[in-house]
Chain A
């Protein structure tokens, strides 16, 4: 059965009310902009979104925030969208802030079947509140649980029709990790090629992690986000 979706509604059919979503990207860089745009047109609410940021005002995940579809956000740097602070003040959104290394490592653990791990990051800071501490070899560590999602919406550069993925420059960021840590993984790509066109050595995400492939209709350019056919 083909993994390729030709329209955005079908690609997003597994996203349901109250779901936890992982959404790739470092701001708009490496974010699945067409799938996010599809979510703005989908009747869905009460989402928990795990992503480094919530886009920018009115852009990327910022659009879902404006529509009040996000109940809770887990990320490391919401500062990039001032509307997140405003929504938080109004009590419209719950936020969980994690150090960026913890956010990414918790995804890695979630994808690898690991329940959690101990890290020195955050010890003695406000972000350690309520977290278990443990001495290991004379140093203090914090316990961090793994994180997983119902659906991951990610961005890659090229997919073959099996779902093997390669990424483009710093648009890689959280995407390969999210590909491992969700029950359903949908990838938006710039190009779909035949198996064999990507060399086995260059493949970053092997196809077993990928459930659906969707060709991007939006692209991040120097001039901003543009539509293309």
Chain B
């Protein structure tokens, strides 16, 4: 496994610990998708906004091209799964019926606002369900690498890319640390294994409470 994959799995595994007991969870594309493989509790129900409650893994020989998740990746269905149209799916999201959304970001700032749909100077081509999940999910967890490819902090004082919502997320999980957001402030609640507070300070632009 490459270093990048290991980092992603580390983050996903930590996020999985947040999903305990009966809950409905929507997973975004990328690291969030990996979270499902660390969940064994059958009362954690995965929702995908293209119209399925009860997303499961699928074996290669069972792949159905008309059964996919929101990232258009093949998935399976659990016993007790249901299919529904897009408006009903987003009524679940916007109506506050989804307990947790786990999302990737381009940037997150020290108030907990995120940017994950557009980059300035490039054509704005897609938003998908990102804005809906931010306003509707009861709890929003961000899973992201702590820094971008060029080594810059993704946890900023203020997002420079267009924000996805004025709502602050509830938790940020990176390969270095876990932060909670309360009263629009980041609070460091946990260091990941073998990480020092000095390293987190050095690689984080955002102000946070230790």
Contact = CB atoms under 8 A, between A and B. Distances in A.
Contact of A127 (B89, B127, B166): B127
Interface residues of B, number: 41
Contacts of A80: 72, 126
A115 to B, nearest CB: 16
Contact of B129 (A30, A99, A167): A99
B164 interface: yes
A29 B72 CA distance: 8
Closest 3 CB pairs of A and B: A101-B90, A79-B126, A101-B132
A76 B126 contact: yes
A124 B91 CA distance: 21
Interface of A: 26-27, 29-30, 52, 76-80, 84-85, 88-89, 95, 97-105, 107-108, 119-127, 167-177, 204, 220-222
Given A101-B94, A220-B65, A121 B131 contact: yes
A199 B84 CA distance: 18
B79 interface: no
B23 interface: no
A185 B91 CA distance: 24
Query: Which secondary structure characterizes the binding site on chain B?
Result: loop
Contacts of B65: 29, 220-222
Interface of B: 48-52, 63-68, 72, 77, 83-87, 89-91, 93-94, 118, 123-132, 135-136, 162-166
Contacts of A127: 127, 131
Contacts of B52: 169-170
A26 B127 CA distance: 14
Given A97-B127, A173-B50, A105 B66 contact: no
Of B51, B83, B94, B165, most buried by chain A (CB within 10 Å of CB) is B51
B2 to A, nearest CB: 25
11 contacts: A27-B72, A29-B68, A77-B125, A79-B125, A97-B125, A101-B131, A102-B132, A121-B94, A121-B136, A123-B135, A169-B67
